């Protein structure tokens, strides 16, 4: 590598502030720069010839471009919060910026991205993208026409100033979407080095894309040598940053713009030894040099040079145009693709200050007669290390479409989105196929225009703000316990004492409920209040069993299916009055069930008199479960007859509980005698305290979700979404009794009548017990034949474990869905987790109190 | 981002809505009278034109009402 020698001109540079020097460090080498420099201009000024290496070849690569077209100068930022794969040509410098050069691939940050990100929504009648002359003219015209709010988004560090328009600098529009929506990324404090960025969600009435031009190279053997640059880019380093990109240059062009670039370089003191034009028949045939160009071979002779400035064409940047749905066409006038049919009914238009060619440009890409050896060192995409030889192979393999060649060669799939390689490759392909370029076409561009950090898309919705956290009014009383996420809710998993493991706590809590009494915060269960004359009719349709006959004061369990007959929810519904009902849903399913009910009511049965109201947050509910629960409830509600005869199973009533207005229900999710007490939400903590106090003499034990799960699994009460997966019918779960034969119809009934729904070998819910009585069964294990050869391909899968627990009444156990499971009870299978088989015996799903003898207490 | 014209609330961002698929697929009056093929047609078979398409949306984040719009599936143009 050449040592850093300054190529900075004594003056000039429209973007740099020479009164504000900064220092940046590239692989340990300190480079002097100014505020306003990009990392690339700082590297060029510091004489750093090698800015990266080939991703596969490891070949040294130099700076080619000045903006988003740059294929080689991608770095890993290691200062500040760090960032992988940063394009040096678009990264502003700041004091203390430290980077490492890369070989085409960055490293993910090993830590959370701490960059400050935010989001801002903007609305404007007219949005202009680009702050060049065409953009400024379009914005001025919109202001003068009185079109309303005019917003100009400019990717330059200083935006133009236009009276009556809002102009935002340092902002790259990364996506143009349907209905005039733009997404942009704004750098907020780049000179200070904060790295903060803001995502702009912009809703536009109409959009003018004034996104300027992009320059295209031409290809030749040895074209990836450091010192080979785009000509207009080389000249722009002089104009913008006062940096001379070389000392002795050959300029090679296919259009008049290359001659203008040569003049700019010469004026900056670069010795321009030759200006060669394809239109005059001059072609570059090779290069010499190691880590920097030393000589250029051409059809006009060879030249000593450390800079070869190449320009194939300068054409409109059309990526946002195609994002928005616009098409492009080939134009001989600019030797490139230009916008054609405007997208979105004319909502998008484009403005371009255009090419000033005096002579028609040549659409020249690469010499056609290169040998295989030459083709192998003619790079069409140096970012992907792909050559002319690769494209020739693709065509020989029979590929014709430019999109297929892209995927075969990976040309254009890099982080630079193939800005230098896309049209070049299409041109080469057209020549190889002997087809006009307009028919070959260009590959499509997709958002985002430039790489965007995931953290920016999330903006502030990260960490605790990524999803709402819901807690019940009882939360403060249980917050000391380890929590489990259930949907958006935080629920206590179990209540281990200081000298207890989680498993031990669950065993203790289960024993308390099975032999004494336990209490649980059950407030998270979904609650939907249904009111109207026709609630019974609705429930008869959405539940598989009969509900319209339910008497006031009674509770009934129901299973809900989709039209395809698969279980979508279950729960109990109580009838509060002739016209008022309260439905409970699975905790994580409350919103979806409400959506389902409302969809049926609004779209299919609008004649039904039913109104639905979500009441989940209106009630605090404590479940009191266990043989002693009746004694505890008797203390809490001394006015109520809570005897087995006076308060029957599956009934409810209004009551005063510990002085609070409450609804008492006798429902059970554990098989034990149990009550649920619901009070207005704000009484939740008081209710919890009252139950704890009343239960203290009976040793009442708070229990968590894991204990609840063990207790319900021993009774084979399914959890929808855990023991079901959208392919499970009520009959598969052993709930065939809940399928009404009397009702003419319910949602799912026709599907349940299908032959497939009746197959005896469907997956049934069964129980599993480890053969040795002690091994834990892993949730999600696949079930295979006992002793099956796990190296066979494939191993026949018989089912899978849906729920598994360390300690039921008889040790570890599980629930599983198993092919023809009800006919396999007693069989031995292997439950395989991570290739480790655990022998298990298939059991009936209910492993505790199958007679239901404990429901009324003991 | 589609802008969906809710007949009750006006034009709003797509993120406020749930998509409901093809409109006009009514729940059969007598499901039991349908053979398996006809029932499967109701359950699963939907039109997918590269053309104008009448589809259902629900404004779940606001009025929660269901309605239909016509959308061109290629250009995304929307007609209320």
Domain borders along chain B are 3-26+38-79
The mean pLDDT of A55-83, rounded to a whole number, is 96
Does A57 reside within a domain?
Answer: yes
Helices and strands, counts by H and E, chain A: 19, 46
The predicted-structure confidence for A606-645, as pLDDT tens digits, reads as follows 999 999 999 999 999 999 999 999 999 999 999 999 999 9
The predicted-structure confidence for A519-535, as pLDDT tens digits, reads as follows 999 999 999 999 999 99
Candidates A1, A6, A8; CA nearest to A28 is A1
Under 8 Å CB pairs connecting chains A and B tally to 58
For residue A336, the tally of other CB atoms under 10 A from its CB is 26
Give the three-class secondary structure for A373.
helix
- Residue A812 lies in domain: 756-858
Residue A326 confidence (pLDDT) above 60:
yes
Does A346 reside within a domain?
Answer: yes
Cβ separation B76–A181 shorter than 8 A: no
Cβ separation B39–A345 shorter than 8 A: no
CA distance B68 to chain A (A): 11
Does A789 reside within a domain?
Answer: yes
| Residues A199 and A338 grouped into a single domain | yes
Name the residue of chain B whose CA is nearest to A592's CA. Answer: B60
The mean pLDDT of A95-99, rounded to a whole number, is 95
Q: What is the C-alpha separation between A591 and A470, in angstroms, rounded? A: 14
Look at residue A809 in the predicted model and tell me its pLDDT. Answer: 77
Does A64 reside within a domain?
Answer: yes
Give the three-class secondary structure for A207.
strand
Does A236 reside within a domain?
Answer: no
CA distance A820 to chain B (A): 23
| Residues A483 and A389 grouped into a single domain | no
Residue B43 confidence (pLDDT) above 60:
yes
Domain boundary residue, one of A678, A711, A744 = A711
Does A465 reside within a domain?
Answer: no
Strand partners, A185: A172, A199
Cβ separation B56–A603 shorter than 8 A: yes
| Residues A660 and A588 grouped into a single domain | no
Q: What is the C-alpha separation between A427 and A443, in angstroms, rounded? A: 12
Cβ separation A345–B77 shorter than 8 A: yes
Look at residue A4 in the predicted model and tell me its pLDDT. Answer: 41
> Which of B20, B23, B39, B78 to substitute to test the interface with A, most A CBs within 10 Å?
B39
Residue A831: cis peptide before it, omega within 30 degrees of 0:
no
CA distance B48 to chain A (A): 19
Cβ separation A754–B36 shorter than 8 A: yes
How far CA A356 is from CA of A317, A349, A669, A755, in Å, comes to 16, 21, 80, 74
Q: Does CATH place domain B3-26+38-79 in 3.10.20.520?
A: no
CATH number of the domain enclosing A422: 1.10.10.1100
Look at residue A356 in the predicted model and tell me its pLDDT. Answer: 65
Cβ separation A750–B39 shorter than 8 A: yes
How far CA A434 is from CA of A181, A285, A337, A381, A398, in Å, comes to 40, 23, 19, 22, 14
Candidates A43, A45, A46; CA nearest to A74 is A43
| Residues A134 and A85 grouped into a single domain | no
| Residues A162 and A65 grouped into a single domain | no
Domain boundary residue, one of A422, A444, A466 = A444
Number of domains chain A is built from: 6
Q: Which two tokens stand for residue A453?
A: 């950090």
> Which of A594, A750, A753 to substitute to test the interface with B, most B CBs within 10 Å?
A750
Look at residue A3 in the predicted model and tell me its pLDDT. Answer: 38
| Residues A764 and A855 grouped into a single domain | yes
| Residues A511 and A538 grouped into a single domain | no
| Residues A197 and A330 grouped into a single domain | yes
Does A221 reside within a domain?
Answer: no
**A residues 179..198 contacting B (CB < 8 A):** 179-181
Q: What is the C-alpha separation between A632 and A695, in angstroms, rounded? A: 5
The predicted-structure confidence for A580-602, as pLDDT tens digits, reads as follows 999 999 988 999 999 999 999 99
Contact with chain B for residue A178, Cβ under 8 A: yes
Does A36 reside within a domain?
Answer: yes
CA distance B76 to chain A (A): 7
The predicted-structure confidence for A675-684, as pLDDT tens digits, reads as follows 999 999 999 9
| Residues A205 and A331 grouped into a single domain | yes
| Residues A514 and A530 grouped into a single domain | no
The mean pLDDT of A200-222, rounded to a whole number, is 97
DSSP string, A631-658: HHHHHH-TTS--STTTS-TTBEEEEEET
Q: What is the C-alpha separation between A258 and A310, in angstroms, rounded? A: 7
- Give residue A351's Cα distance to chain centre: 34
The predicted-structure confidence for A195-210, as pLDDT tens digits, reads as follows 899 999 999 999 999 9
Domain boundary residue, one of A70, A101, A132 = A101
Q: Name the pLDDT band for A483 (thresholds 50, 70, 90).
A: very high
Look at residue A445 in the predicted model and tell me its pLDDT. Answer: 86
Cβ separation B39–A755 shorter than 8 A: no
Cβ separation A595–B60 shorter than 8 A: yes
CA distance B53 to chain A (A): 17
Share of chain A above pLDDT 70, in %: 98
CB A677 within 8 A of CB A636: yes
Cβ separation B66–A603 shorter than 8 A: yes
CATH number of the domain enclosing A692: 3.30.1360.120
Share of chain A above pLDDT 90, in %: 92
Q: Name the pLDDT band for A2 (thresholds 50, 70, 90).
A: very low
Span of A451-455, A495-499, A536-540, B49-53 with lowest mean pLDDT: A451-455
CB A310 within 8 A of CB A254: no
The mean pLDDT of A208-228, rounded to a whole number, is 97
**Backbone φ, ψ for residue B40 (5° rounding):** -65, -35
Nearest to B65 among A201, A602, A753 (CB): A602
| Residues A558 and A683 grouped into a single domain | no
The predicted-structure confidence for A733-782, as pLDDT tens digits, reads as follows 999 999 999 999 999 999 999 999 999 999 999 999 999 999 999 999 99
CB A66 within 8 A of CB A21: no
| Residues A623 and A651 grouped into a single domain | yes
Cβ separation A603–B77 shorter than 8 A: no
Give the three-class secondary structure for A474.
coil
The predicted-structure confidence for A15-61, as pLDDT tens digits, reads as follows 999 999 999 999 999 999 999 999 999 999 999 999 999 999 999 99
Q: What is the DSSP letter of A344?
A: G
The predicted-structure confidence for A336-391, as pLDDT tens digits, reads as follows 999 998 998 889 999 998 766 678 899 999 999 999 999 999 999 999 999 999 99
Work out the mean pLDDT of chain A and round it to a whole number.
95
Look at residue A618 in the predicted model and tell me its pLDDT. Answer: 97
CB A8 within 8 A of CB A242: yes
Q: Name the pLDDT band for A190 (thresholds 50, 70, 90).
A: low
Cβ separation A325–B77 shorter than 8 A: no
């Amino acid at each position: 590598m050449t040592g850093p020698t300054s190529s900075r001109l004594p003056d000039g540079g429209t973007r740099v502030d020479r009164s504000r020097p900064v220092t940046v460090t590239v692989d340990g080498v300190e480079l002097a720069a100014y505020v306003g420099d990009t990392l690339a201009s700082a590297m060029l000024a510091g004489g750093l010839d090698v800015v990266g290496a080939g991703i596969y070849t490891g070949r040294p690569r130099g700076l080619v471009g000045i903006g988003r077209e740059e294929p080689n100068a991608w770095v890993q930022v290691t200062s500040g919060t760090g960032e992988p794969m940063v394009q040096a040509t678009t990264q502003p410098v700041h004091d203390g910026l430290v980077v490492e050069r890369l070989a085409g691939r960055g490293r993910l940050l090993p830590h959370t991205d701490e960059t400050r990100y935010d989001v801002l929504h903007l609305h404007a009648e007219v949005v202009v993208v680009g702050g060049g002359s065409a953009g400024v003219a379009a914005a001025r015209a919109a202001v003068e026409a009185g079109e309303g709010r005019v917003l100009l988004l400019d990717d330059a560090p200083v935006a133009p100033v236009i009276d009556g328009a809002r102009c935002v600098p340092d902002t790259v529009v990364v996506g143009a979407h349907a209905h005039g929506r733009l997404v942009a990324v704004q750098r907020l404090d780049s000179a200070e080095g904060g790295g903060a960025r803001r995502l702009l969600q912009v809703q536009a009435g109409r959009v003018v894309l004034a996104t300027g031009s992009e320059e295209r190279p031409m290809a030749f053997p040895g074209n990836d040598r450091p010192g080979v640059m785009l000509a207009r880019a080389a000249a722009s380093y002089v104009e913008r940053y006062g940096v001379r990109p070389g000392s002795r240059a050959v300029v090679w062009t296919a259009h008049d713009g290359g001659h203008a670039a040569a003049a700019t370089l010469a004026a900056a003191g670069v010795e321009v030894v030759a200006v060669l034009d394809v239109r005059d028949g001059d072609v570059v045939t090779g290069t010499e040099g190691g880590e920097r160009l030393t000589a250029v071979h051409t059809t006009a002779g060879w030249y000593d040079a450390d800079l070869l400035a190449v320009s194939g064409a300068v054409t409109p940047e059309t990526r946002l145009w195609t994002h928005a749905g616009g098409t492009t066409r080939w134009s001989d006038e600019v030797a490139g693709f230009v916008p054609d049919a405007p997208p979105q009914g004319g909502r998008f238009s484009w403005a371009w200050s255009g090419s000033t060619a005096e002579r028609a440009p040549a659409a020249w890409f690469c010499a056609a007669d290169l040998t295989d050896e030459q083709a192998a060192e003619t790079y069409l995409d140096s970012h992907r290390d792909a050559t002319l030889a690769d494209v020739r192979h693709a065509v020989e393999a029979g590929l014709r479409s430019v999109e297929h060649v892209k995927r075969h060669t990976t040309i254009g799939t890099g982080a630079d989105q193939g800005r230098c390689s896309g049209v070049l490759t299409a041109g080469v392909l057209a020549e190889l196929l002997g087809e006009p370029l307009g028919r070959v076409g260009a590959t499509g561009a997709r958002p985002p225009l430039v790489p965007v950090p995931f953290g920016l898309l999330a903006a502030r919705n990260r960490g605790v703000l990524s999803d709402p956290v819901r807690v019940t009014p009882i939360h403060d009383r249980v917050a000391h316990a380890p929590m489990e996420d259930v949907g958006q809710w935080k629920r206590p998993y179990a209540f281990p004492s200081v000298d207890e493991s989680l498993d031990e706590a669950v065993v203790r809590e289960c024993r308390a409920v099975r032999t004494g009494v336990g209490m649980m915060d059950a407030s998270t269960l979904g609650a939907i209040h249904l009111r109207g004359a026709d609630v019974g009719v609705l429930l008869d349709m959405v539940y598989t069993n009969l509900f319209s006959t339910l008497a006031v004061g009674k509770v009934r369990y129901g299973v809900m299916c989709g039209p395809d007959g698969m279980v979508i929810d279950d729960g109990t519904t109580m009838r509060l009055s002739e016209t008022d009902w309260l439905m409970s849903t699975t905790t994580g399913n409350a919103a979806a069930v409400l959506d389902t009910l409302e969809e049926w009511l609004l779209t299919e049965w609008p004649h039904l008199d039913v109104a639905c109201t979500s009441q989940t947050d209106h009630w605090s509910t404590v479940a009191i479960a266990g043989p002693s629960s009746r004694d505890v409830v008797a203390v809490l509600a001394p006015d109520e007859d809570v005897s087995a005869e006076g308060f029957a199973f599956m009934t409810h009533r209004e009551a005063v509980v510990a002085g609070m207005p409450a609804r008492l229900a006798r429902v059970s999710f554990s098989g034990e005698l149990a009550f649920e007490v619901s009070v207005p939400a704000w009484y939740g903590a008081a209710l919890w305290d009252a139950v704890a106090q009343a239960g203290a003499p009976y040793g009442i034990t708070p229990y968590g979700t894991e204990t609840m799960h063990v207790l319900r699994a021993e009774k084979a009460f399914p959890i929808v979404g855990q023991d079901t997966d959208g392919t499970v019918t009520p009959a598969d779960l052993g709930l065939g009794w809940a399928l009404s034969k009397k009702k003419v119809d319910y949602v799912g009934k026709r599907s349940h009548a299908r032959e497939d729904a009746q197959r005896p070998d469907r997956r049934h819910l069964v129980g599993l017990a480890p053969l040795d009585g002690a091994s834990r069964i892993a949730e999600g294990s696949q079930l295979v034949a006992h002793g099956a050869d796990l190296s066979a391909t494939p191993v026949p899968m018989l089912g899978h474990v849906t729920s598994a627990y360390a300690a039921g009444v008889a040790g570890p156990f599980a629930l599983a869905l198993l092919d023809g499971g009800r006919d396999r009870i007693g069989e031995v299978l292997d439950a395989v987790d991570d290739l480790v088989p655990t022998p298990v015996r298939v059991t009936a799903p209910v492993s505790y109190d199958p007679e239901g003898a404990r429901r009324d207490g003991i | 981002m589609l802008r969906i014209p809710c007949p009750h609330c006006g034009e709003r961002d797509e993120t406020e809505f749930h998509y409901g698929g093809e409109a006009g697929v009514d729940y059969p009056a007598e499901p039991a009278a349908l053979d398996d093929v006809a029932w499967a047609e109701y359950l699963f078979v939907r039109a997918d034109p590269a053309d104008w398409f009448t589809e259902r949306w629900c404004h779940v984040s606001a009025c929660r009402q269901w309605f239909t719009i016509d959308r061109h599936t290629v250009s995304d143009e929307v007609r209320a």
